[in-house]
Amino acid sequence: MTSTINSAEFRANNLKTTLVLGVIAVVLAILPWALGHFFESGNSWLRAVDFALLYIMLALGLNIVVGYAGLLDLGYIAFYAVGAYTFALLNSPHLQAVIPEWLFQPNFFVMMLIAAFVAGVFGVLLGSPTLKLRGDYLAIVTLGFGEIIRIFMNNLDRPINITNGPQGINNIPAVQFAGYDLGRPIEFLGVSFEKIHLYYYLILAMCFFIIFVSMRLQRSRIGRAWVAIREDEIAANAMGINTRNVKLLAFAMGASFGGVAGALFASFQGFVSPESFTLMESIMVLAMVVLGGMGNIPGVILGAVIVSITPEILRDVINPLQQALVGRKVVDPENLRMLIFGLAMIVIMLVRPAGLWPSKQRRAELAPKTKTISQQENDSLQDAERNHD
């Protein structure tokens, strides 16, 4: 009888999950056309959604390092830069004369693997000397690493011009996929798909792949080993977990996610420069993870969407509101965004320290049932007093 009830509940939960996923898939499929229908600046909103998807990929990569392994990384944007510059150097005419022909403008999937591998190597280079560090010391070292990468990109234009310095690399071609150039409109079933629509579906597909990999990692032995290190590294080592290799794998895996996102960013923009990879970007990605809920994939996705879409909402709301009330623009939406964002982070950390959508384990750690424990202690004291009397 119990097994029959459990199987019925399992089927009902599966049906509910399938329906929810189906609705989400339909909404995401028609989203570009819905934005164009409801907003005059539909393409600018779609561009904001494209960047939100890239931030989701970055936040999921950082979630491996910070959320699962408990390693505070303030230089994560460096891997984003490595992926972007790897794509730019192998696809733009900038170094075409010195790059072997077989390596120039590789296949899309090969390019994604190269970007992920190169970024992963840089992740291992960061992780190797920091294995003994934790907390504030690790944060300072990773912050320095992120700034070193940005400064290198800014100065590698002499004596040999590799990155073109602060001017950046332009003329980066669009992705060639299945014989189609995503930089040009494509007709399909009588519908014209512009570049921004094509990149939306490409980045969305890669984002789903990253989410799938993150979910599989979370439920794997490696994911459980990361969590064990986060909770107590000494105990994890005593239980036979090779903490050195597992921590290096966390850095490498998180960095590879950033490298893939960076490659897509370079292709989408057609231009990369060191200005896109500042410390503020690292802090924003970290804020997405903390705001949404460290260690919880849906929470991280929620945090990334909120932080990345908020500036567009403020830009469309604040400027007309200021014009209507004052007759001119008094406050720049970007500055107001940082003010609101800072206040929101303070409030959320006070009210919901585990984030907007924390994992069950994280919620239990930060909000234990103290009332129950206190009540049990009081009951025990009262029983002891009665026995004493």
In the predicted model, residues of the chain with pLDDT beneath 70 are 1-10, 12-13, 333, 362-389
CB 163 within 8 Å of CB 157: yes
From the CB of residue 69, how many other CB atoms can be counted at a distance below 10 Å?
28
**Token couple for 153:** 């990109």
Instruction: Give the total residue count for the chain.
Output: 389
**Closest to 317 (Cα-Cα) out of 285, 291, 346, 340:** 340
**Token couple for 99:** 């790059």
pLDDT digits (tens, 9 = 90+) for 172-226: 998 988 778 888 888 777 777 888 889 999 999 999 999 999 999 998 999 999 9
Question: What distances in angstroms separate CA 356 from CA 210, 304, 347, one per listed residue?
Answer: 21, 12, 11
Domain boundaries, the chain: 45-294
> Would you give the DSSP letter of residue 76?
T
CB 240 within 8 Å of CB 226: no
The amino acid at residue 339 is: L
Predicted pLDDT of residue 11? 72
Cα(168)–Cα(273) distance, integer angstroms: 4
Predicted pLDDT of residue 344? 78
Question: What distances in angstroms separate CA 32 from CA 40, 50, 191, 201, one per listed residue?
Answer: 13, 10, 13, 9
Predicted pLDDT of residue 158? 84
Region of 190 on the Ramachandran plot (φ > 0 left; ψ -120 to 50 alpha; else beta): left
3-class state of residue 21 by DSSP = helix
Predicted pLDDT of residue 121? 96
Cβ neighbors of 275 (< 8 A, separation 6 or more) are 166, 168
Predicted pLDDT of residue 179? 79
Predicted pLDDT of residue 172? 92
Predicted pLDDT of residue 289? 92
